[in-house]
């Protein structure tokens, strides 16, 4: 029996849509996939005409599809934004070096300007060296903290207004669960925000907030997009692995669960009197921080002093244990925003 697409009722269905379990043909799938992202962009008023937008591009499926779809929607609906590719070279041999090749091909294919920022030039350490120093237990912490800053710094270099990342619905649902499970109230209350611009100067948003990972893979597959599909060789810790498996099982039971988790996350409200960290700037490098020093500076200090555990755990507790950070040792270049001398004055 030939199955017909339930959306157009005409063409032959070739996929079962993970999000709705509807049978759909290729064209209808493309249409709903792209339009849902467009709706998200419009409803959240993500872009203004004339915005310069950097796509955080890793060469993986999410950011490759993001670059492709944003370029397409920008032309189709005339957002009037200017797109850039921004890549971070973490320095992971056999992983990032290969995926960067993909990004360079994407640059040609989509005809977008590309900027690469490397951990080595910014921090003096690459992930291979860091893993050698700290082992495989907390390496993702280093990488995550360093990447976040590196993206902001890259964005400043590109003089863009806005960074978009390929975080998809699965990633956000996973983050909601992780934040509940580790009691991170501050992040729990903001991790479902599609766009963060309250506490930092460079807007950062997630147009794939409601887009299923599986559908991104499908889209890339049918569109034959050129992406790099190897998992990071320094894979995340086992606790997160359990959460990931749980999420996949939930999706198996009820596909809407992923959206429902995000939906729940949006509804969470904190009791009055729950203490949240106050955002300030790092005394050393000027980057946004809720502590005296930003996490990257503390982690870096730990690396440089041969105390890799310095930045793992509660910063103040660790600094007490290992001694404070001497003043005036600017190891990461001062963080400067294009509109001001330092971020602090704007934020």
Is residue 222 close enough to count as binding other proteins by CB under 8 A? no
Is residue 260 close enough to count as binding other proteins by CB under 8 A? yes
Greatest Cα pair distance, the chain, in angstroms, is 74
Q: Shortest approach of other proteins to residue 25 CB, angstroms?
A: 11
By beta-carbon proximity to other proteins, the closer residue of 221 and 239 is: 239
Q: Is the separation of the CB atoms in 60 and 97 below 8 Å?
A: no
Tokens of 274: 């729950």
323 is in an annotated binding site: no
Q: Of 327, 332, 219, give the one whose Cα is nearest residue 283.
A: 327
**Rounded distance between C-alpha atoms, residue 342 and residue 96, angstroms:** 31
Is residue 6 close enough to count as binding other proteins by CB under 8 A? yes
171 is in an annotated binding site: yes
| One character per residue 223-242, x = contact with other proteins (rule: CB under 8 A) | ---------x---xx-xx-x
By beta-carbon proximity to other proteins, the closer residue of 316 and 339 is: 316
By beta-carbon proximity to other proteins, the closer residue of 155 and 191 is: 191
Q: Is the separation of the CB atoms in 296 and 287 below 8 Å?
A: yes
* Sites for other proteins among residues 137-156 (CB under 8 A): 138, 140-141, 143-145, 147-148
Q: Which of 259, 307, 336, 347 binds other proteins (CB under 8 A)?
A: 259
* Sites for other proteins among residues 179-218 (CB under 8 A): 179-185, 187-188, 191, 210
Q: Is the separation of the CB atoms in 168 and 62 below 8 Å?
A: yes
Kind and range of the H or E run holding 55: strand 52-56
Q: Is the separation of the CB atoms in 79 and 53 below 8 Å?
A: no
**Rounded distance between C-alpha atoms, residue 97 and residue 100, angstroms:** 5
* Sites for other proteins among residues 10-49 (CB under 8 A): 19-20, 22, 28, 31-32, 35-36, 39-40, 43
Distance between terminal CA atoms of the chain? 61
DSSP-derived secondary structure letter, 341: S
* Sites for other proteins among residues 63-102 (CB under 8 A): 63
Kindly determine how many residues on this chain lie close enough to bind other proteins according to the rule CB under 8 A.
Answer: 83
* Sites for other proteins among residues 269-288 (CB under 8 A): 269-272, 274
Stretch that binds other proteins, among 73-81, 218-226, 267-275, 332-340 (CB under 8 A): 267-275
56 is in an annotated binding site: yes
Q: Which residues contact 141 (CB under 8 A, 6 or more apart)?
A: 299, 311, 312
Q: Shortest approach of other proteins to residue 93 CB, angstroms?
A: 16
Bridge partners (DSSP) of residue 83 are 53
């Amino acid at each position: 029996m030939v199955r017909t697409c339930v959306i157009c009722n005409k063409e032959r269905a070739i996929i079962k849509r993970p999000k709705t379990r509807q049978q759909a043909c290729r064209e209808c799938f493309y249409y709903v996939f792209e339009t849902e992202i467009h709706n998200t962009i419009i409803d959240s008023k993500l872009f203004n005409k004339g915005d310069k937008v950097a796509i955080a591009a890793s060469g993986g499926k999410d950011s490759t599809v993001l670059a492709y779809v944003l370029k397409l929607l920008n032309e189709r609906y005339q957002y009037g934004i200017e797109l850039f590719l921004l890549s971070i070279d973490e320095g992971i041999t056999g992983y990032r070096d290969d995926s960067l090749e993909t990004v360079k091909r994407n640059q040609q294919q989509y005809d977008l300007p590309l900027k690469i920022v490397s951990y080595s030039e910014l921090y003096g350490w690459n992930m291979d060296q860091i893993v050698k120093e700290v082992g495989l237990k907390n390496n993702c912490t280093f990488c995550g903290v360093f990447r976040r800053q590196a993206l902001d710094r890259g964005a400043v270099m590109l003089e863009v207004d806005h960074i978009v990342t390929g975080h998809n619905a699965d990633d956000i649902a996973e983050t909601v669960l992780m934040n509940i499970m580790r009691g991170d109230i501050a992040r729990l209350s903001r991790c479902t925000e599609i766009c963060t611009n309250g506490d930092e100067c460079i807007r950062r948003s997630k147009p794939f907030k409601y887009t299923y990972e599986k559908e991104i893979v499908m889209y890339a597959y049918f569109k034959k997009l050129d992406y790099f599909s190897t998992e990071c060789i320094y894979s995340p810790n086992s606790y997160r692995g359990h959460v990931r498996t749980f999420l996949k099982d939930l999706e198996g039971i009820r596909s809407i669960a992923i959206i429902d988790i995000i939906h729940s996350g949006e509804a969470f409200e904190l009791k009055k009197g729950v203490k949240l960290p106050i955002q300030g700037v790092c005394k050393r490098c000027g980057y946004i921080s809720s502590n005296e020093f930003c996490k990257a500076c503390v982690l870096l200090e730990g690396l440089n002093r041969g105390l890799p555990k310095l930045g793992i755990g509660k910063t103040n507790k660790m600094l007490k244990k290992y001694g404070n950070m001497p003043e005036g040792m600017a190891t990461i270049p001062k963080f400067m925003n294009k509109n001001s001398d330092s971020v602090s004055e704007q934020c």
